[in-house]
Amino acid sequence: MKRFYWVIILLIISEQLMGQTKSLPFRFVEYHIIDAARKELYPHQRVYHNRELMMHLWIPISEKPCPLLLFSHGLGDNFNGMTYTHLCKFLASSGYIVASVSHTYGCKPVRFSDGYMSPYLFPASFHHKERHMFDVETDYWVEDMQYALNECENQNSSPDSFLYNAIDMAHVGVMGHSLGGSTAIQLARKDNRIRAVINLDGPVYGTHAMIPIEKPLMIIIGSSVVVNSPLSTGGVPFHKEFVWRWYFNTHWLPQLNQFFASLDFDAYKITIDNIVHSTFSDEVLNPDEIIMPWIRNPQEAQDIIYAYVGAFFDRYLKRIDTLLLEKKDSPWSGVKVEKNLHYVRD
């Protein structure tokens, strides 16, 4: 018999974001969860041989249940579930419970409840098989997200939990950044509890990745300041952020566009000029001075991203329409809006 259990760590604070049109106070809670049904595939020195995860939650203080948003971070040693706190706080203040998962060993080191700091170990031996290592990791992360969703659902029915009767399980969304964006799409494909999905600057990886999903989708990406090759930038500094953007737009964007065009459910693609991959995370608020002259003001860029993320989930999880999604063009310069609408609504 499969057994699942959880360990609560700490209730840290209640916060309130000021300056938003709508703002709710919220709690921040972290859970150390262990999936007893799955073995850890990464090499490790832990007592537990099962998959361990940290789940970070922002819970609005509300009189009624709130929709749940799951978040999956980008792959790499500079991202984990806690490098998108500004986005998560914005959504919590807007009435969403946000559960951000740190994908152990595929992310920036994260501390567990017993003090253990998990190192970044990607790629590992199990990635070196016939399939692309990003396909393998995406599928591994989808299982993480499903387990996190199961835990949220369990906590929602537990009287001793901070999540007790807090989640509107009929309205659950998922979003992710980079490989987490691939993970979000794949989770929406696999789990019928997911009602809407956002991919933030992510490619398309995972099992049957190019088969259309039957859920509303928003894709938010950046344009490139590097037009041709990153080796001949025409004055643009040779920087990892610009190389990544060039690679994404050259190698991954054609496939993403093909996927977008194939969808039979409501889909939006938002392209924002002169942003980099880290624009979607907290990292961009302390950017490298080398790239600053070439990118959009970080706070303005995040305001644009948050506005579209909030409007999308409001429409498909709360049934609240906003003019932002109705407009043909964006109110911000340098922002392109593409729509593939079929007017799907629950």
- What lies within 8 Å, CB to CB, of 236 at 6+ separation is 225, 226, 242, 294
Distance CA 303, CA 174 (A): 20
Q: What are the pLDDT digits (tens) for 125-150?
A: 999 878 999 999 999 999 999 999 99
Contacts 24+ apart (CB under 8 A), 122-129: 122/75, 122/76, 124/41, 124/42, 124/43, 125/43, 126/41, 126/42
pLDDT for res 48: 82
Residue spans per domain, the chain: 4-340
Q: So what's the pLDDT on residue 203? A: 98
Pairing between β-strand 335-340 and β-strand 267-272 as defined by DSSP bridges? antiparallel
The DSSP symbol for 214 reads: S
- The answer to whether domain 4-340 has CATH 3.40.50.2300 is no
What pLDDT, on a 0 to 100 scale, did the predictor assign at position 133?
97
CA 285/CA 80 separation, integer angstroms: 16
pLDDT of residue 226: 64
> Angle at the Cα of 285 (from 312 to 87), degrees rounded to 5?
25
Torsion of CA 18, 19, 20, 21, to 10 degrees: 120
C-alpha dihedral, 206 to 210 to 213 to 217, nearest 10°: 90
For residues 310 and 291, the answer to whether their CB atoms sit within 8 Å is: no
Between CA 120 and CA 79 the distance in angstroms is 10
Biggest alpha carbon–alpha carbon distance for the chain? 61
* CA distance linking residue 29 with residue 16, whole number of Å: 15
- Measured between alpha carbons, how far is 112 from 115 in angstroms, rounded to an integer? 5
Phi and psi dihedrals of 27, rounded to 5? -100, 155
What is the rounded distance in angstroms from the CA atom of residue 10 to the CA atom of residue 255? 42
Task: Enumerate residue ranges in the chain where pLDDT < 70.
Answer: 1-22, 226-234, 343-346
pTM here is 0.92
Tokens for 244, please give them: 């990544």
